[in-house]
Amino acid sequence: MPLKVFKANKDDLVDLFNLANDPLVRKNSFNKKEITMAEHKHWFGNQIDSNNSLILIAKKDGKFVGVVKFKLEDENIIGISIAKYFRGKGLSNSVLTEAIEYLKKDRPEIKIITALIKEENIASVKTFEKSGFKFDQKIKVNESPSLKYIYEI
């Protein structure tokens, strides 16, 4: 079965919590602090009710592969995380492509997506470049030397 993306719902709370606290995900985030379940529940409740947020779950053969999050304000910041057991299998490009296709249909008014990537996160840079994101500039995000990539729809 091909990989598909779905809008997140409350059944995804635990998968998202576990992935958010995965050591590589925390390391590559701009806020490295571990997340408590209480914080996660509060955050998730706000996100799924918000018009400024879109959280998409990627599944393959019914299994949770990863998540793509869009913060739909100003620059429309995108984030991607693949679950540990699906990493390194070349799935990130399909996950991103499917998520962008979903966004295009769901929010046709959006014309630009921005990715902010820590400079040393090579797998992420390759993933975004392969999916059509173009390098824009070097910037610092929370003191971390980072790269800004742009995708024009």
Binding site for ligand COA (CB under 6 A): 24-25, 28, 79-82, 87-93, 117, 121-124, 126-127, 130
Token pair 């024009």 in the structure block, residue? 152
Q: What minimum distance in Å lies between the beta carbon of 110 and ligand COA?
A: 19
Report residue 83 as tokens: 């679950």
Q: Closer CB to ligand COA, residue 51 or residue 137? A: 137
The 8-class DSSP code of residue 109 comes to: T
Q: Closer CB to ligand COA, residue 72 or residue 91? A: 91
Give me the helix-helix angle, 122-130 and 92-106, nearest 10°: 50
Contact criterion met (CB below 8 Å) for 72 and 52: yes
Q: Closer CB to ligand COA, residue 106 or residue 120? A: 120
Q: Closer CB to ligand COA, residue 25 or residue 103? A: 25
Q: What minimum distance in Å lies between the beta carbon of 71 and ligand COA?
A: 13
Cα-Cα-Cα-Cα dihedral sign, residues 10, 59, 21, 120: negative
Q: What minimum distance in Å lies between the beta carbon of 133 and ligand COA?
A: 11
Q: What minimum distance in Å lies between the beta carbon of 30 and ligand COA?
A: 9
Q: What minimum distance in Å lies between the beta carbon of 85 and ligand COA?
A: 10
DSSP labels, 2-54: --EEEE--GGGHHHHHHHHTSHHHHHHSS--S---HHHHHHHHHHHHH-TTEE
